[in-house]
Chains A and B, each alone.
Chain A
């Protein structure tokens, strides 16, 4: 069974630019989560999508946005990039909407560097 996949693996952008990161969940999983892991910091929850809807959002500005497609894949968009957006962006999926007991399966991440 294929795991969570993310693309691209690495990305270099300059300040002010926009970036789109992509995630494909494990087949059968309807929930997709996005996390930011800045160097030396813990993972910070960004967004949760389920059945095409944004269900929950972390403490990030509106320039962080995303969407989930009918096939449950997801995009994370970051506008007006800032230097502190440099981080590893991780996508995770889980098989159902209530994540209480469900494990989130993580992808390998996209490493974004903003110059």
Chain B
């Protein structure tokens, strides 16, 4: 069964600290993996997209990694800010079915001053 699992479910950190969110998937055949940020009450916003051949991709203070062999990805947030408080969603698409995205349930991150 094609699934995307994220951990932890929720996370609280202090402003300025770093954190790493995890994503494990069983989607096959794999096409690409995306990380989205979703603020409360808003639609998700894309942070990164990685294909099979990409190991890492950065977007400002966000760095995503992908290990296609172990089917794991991580999202590292550096020097967190209060505005980073949101849900972070890992999304995987299947080859030949790339529009039927498979979403993880997300990690809820709260950054406190």
When C-beta atoms are compared, the residue in chain B nearest to A40 turns out to be B105
A72 at the interface (CB under 8 A from B): no
**Complex formed: what's the CA distance from A44 to B13 in Å?**
29
User: Interface residues of B toward A: which range?
Assistant: 20 to 34
B99 touches A55 (CB 8 A): yes
B59 CB, min distance to chain A CBs, angstroms? 12
A45 touches B100 (CB 8 A): yes
Contact of A98 among B34, B42, B98, B103 (CB under 8 A): B98
**Complex formed: what's the CA distance from A45 to B99 in Å?**
9
When C-beta atoms are compared, the residue in chain B nearest to A94 turns out to be B99
Contact of A56 among B41, B49, B97 (CB under 8 A): B97
User: Cβ of B31: which chain A residues have Cβ within 8 Å of it?
Assistant: 100
Contacts A44-B103, A100-B93 given; indicate if A108 touches B98 (C-beta within 8 A): no
Contact of B99 among A40, A48, A90, A108 (CB under 8 A): A48
B77 at the interface (CB under 8 A from A): no
- Determine chain A's interface SS by DSSP, over half rule: loop
A16 at the interface (CB under 8 A from B): no
**Complex formed: what's the CA distance from A41 to B100 in Å?**
17
A90 touches B43 (CB 8 A): yes
- Determine chain B's interface SS by DSSP, over half rule: strand
A99 touches B103 (CB 8 A): no
Interface residues of A in 31-63 (CB under 8 A from B): 31, 33, 35, 40-45, 48, 55-56, 58
B56 CB, min distance to chain A CBs, angstroms? 17
Contacts A99-B93, A101-B32, A101-B49 given; indicate if A48 touches B100 (C-beta within 8 A): yes
Contacts A42-B89, A42-B103, A101-B32 given; indicate if A106 touches B98 (C-beta within 8 A): no
Contacts A42-B105, A100-B32 given; indicate if A106 touches B99 (C-beta within 8 A): no
Q: Which of A's residues lie within 8 Å of B, judged by CB?
A: 4, 31, 33, 35, 40-45, 48, 55-56, 58, 90, 92, 98-101, 103-109
Q: What are 10 A-B contacts with C-beta separation under 8 Å?
A: A4-B43, A42-B4, A42-B89, A42-B103, A55-B99, A90-B43, A100-B32, A105-B46, A107-B43, A108-B42
